[in-house]
Amino acid sequence: MSSFESSKFNACCRLIAEMEKMLPDDVKVNKTMGDHGAQHILNFYKDKPVKVLTHCNAGALATAGYGTALGRLCKSWINIMLHVV
């Protein structure tokens, strides 16, 4: 392995290590955002059935898997507030 290849490999290893350190915080932050968003939906619609139209579900790809926008919907669904997505 050349010095350049070794340098690239080491940089990749450091990057992966940093991402792995960020993972728990990312999940926690996204779930917290989902909790707040679900509570907002509940407060706004009270006991009325809620229907949501969404056109993007890439949040789970850009985050640690829980997502941001869909996290609110997932939490709302879990709380039996969301009837149709």
Three-state secondary-structure class, residue 65: coil
Asked if residue 7 belongs to a domain, the reply is no
Asked if residue 77 belongs to a domain, the reply is yes
pLDDT at 73 over 80: no
pLDDT tens, position by position, 6-60: 899 999 999 999 989 988 888 888 888 878 877 887 788 877 777 777 666 666 6
Asked if residue 51 belongs to a domain, the reply is yes
In total, the chain counts a number of residues equal to: 85
Asked if residue 60 belongs to a domain, the reply is yes
Give the whole-angstrom CA distance, residue 33 versus residue 24. 14
Asked if residue 30 belongs to a domain, the reply is yes
User: What pLDDT does 13 receive?
Assistant: 94
| Nearest CA-CA partner of 54 in 14, 85, 78 | 85
Asked if residue 17 belongs to a domain, the reply is no
Q: What domain count does the chain have?
A: 1
Asked if residue 47 belongs to a domain, the reply is yes
Asked if residue 53 belongs to a domain, the reply is yes
Counting other chains too, the contacts that 11-18 makes at CB distance below 8 Å and 24 or more residues apart are none
pTM above 0.75, yes or no: no
